[in-house]
Amino acid sequence: MPNLKAIRKRIASTKSTQQITRAMRMVAAAKLRRAQERIVAARPYAEKMEEMTKNLAVRAGEDIKHPLLESRDVKRVQLLIFTSSRGLCGAFNSNLIKTGEKLIKEITDSGQEISLTTVGRKGFDYFNKRKYGIREKYLNLGAGDDFNTAQIIARDMISGYTEKEFDRVVVVFSEFYSAMKQIPLTKELLPVSTGVGEDSESAGELLSEYIFEPPAHTLLEKLLPQFVEVQIYRAVLDNLASEFGARMTAMENATSNAEEMIRGLTLTFNKARQEAITRELMDIVGGAEAQMK
């Protein structure tokens, strides 16, 4: 017979856990709402800046020279990988890590060297434990200074690329679609792709009617570093919104599972109590019959 005291204790423990998961779901939902507003506001700006950068490069012509546009033989690759600093968000971190590991294998199999810059504690702990070469780490994302952090990361990537510490920068982050859908995305950050050298039809689509003052190549000098900053900032916001969406969904599922477990345990408890009462009644009736004889 199941122990009634143990079942009662387990029901109480499950209810306590359910209260925690319900509270975490509400907190994640509140944070998701703010993060979603930020990424929705940032995306049009990032997309327009990308369009303008490509337009400027086409206007400036193929003779333009800028370190961030320079394509060279790739010997060393820098992987910038985003994760969260906290767990309890389902498969969010494991999906990003799997995407990063797959990319690392492809790069190393091609004979190129790779180093990592991790954004988020979970990614750092995972790759550091497995002795991957970590060049830099950023652990305090979401502390309210996300744009400053994005600027610091961007300046580090630009400095490493222009000083030829590495020849290519690839970023892995989670693109936010909804609370139920976040997809790991791999994107080449450096060298900056501008559309120069593409087919004439694609290049022609970039030629919006802009009047540039000062000249296009002068604007590119200022615009390209800002373009890298904005792309990293967009990755930061996308990843944060994805994290909160994944955590809200995970905690909602955990709350539902706890409810089902409580119902099952309550049913088991009632059956066990009924069996105990029936057995006690049978003992009483048996004792009474024995005395009557």
The per-residue pLDDT for range 244-280, each reduced to its tens digit, is 999 999 999 999 999 999 999 989 888 888 887 887 7
Q: Is the CB of residue 194 less than 8 Å from the CB of residue 69?
A: yes
pLDDT > 70: percent of the chain: 87
* Cα 115 to chain centroid, rounded: 20
CA distance 132 to 190: 22
- The pLDDT, as a whole number, for residue 83 is 93
84-135 pLDDT, tens digit per residue, is 988 888 899 999 999 999 999 999 999 899 999 999 899 999 999 988 889 9
Q: Which regions of the chain does DSSP assign to beta strands (E)? A: 76-82, 113-119, 134-138, 168-178, 181-190
136-160 pLDDT, tens digit per residue, is 998 876 656 688 888 999 999 999 9
Question: Tokens 């009924």 identify what position?
Answer: 274
CA quadruple 199, 201, 205, 207: dihedral positive or negative?
Answer: positive
Q: What is the mean pLDDT of residues 206-224?
A: 71
Please report, to the nearest 10 degrees, the dihedral formed by the alpha carbons of residues 22, 23, 29, 32 taken in order: -130
Domains of the chain: 24-249 (3.40.1380.10)
3-57 pLDDT, tens digit per residue, is 888 888 999 999 999 999 999 999 999 989 988 898 888 888 888 888 877 777 7
Choosing from 89, 97, 192, 254, the catalytic residue is 89
What does each C-alpha distance from 32 to 37, 38, 123, 248 come to in angstroms? 8, 10, 21, 8
Q: Is 89 a catalytic residue?
A: yes
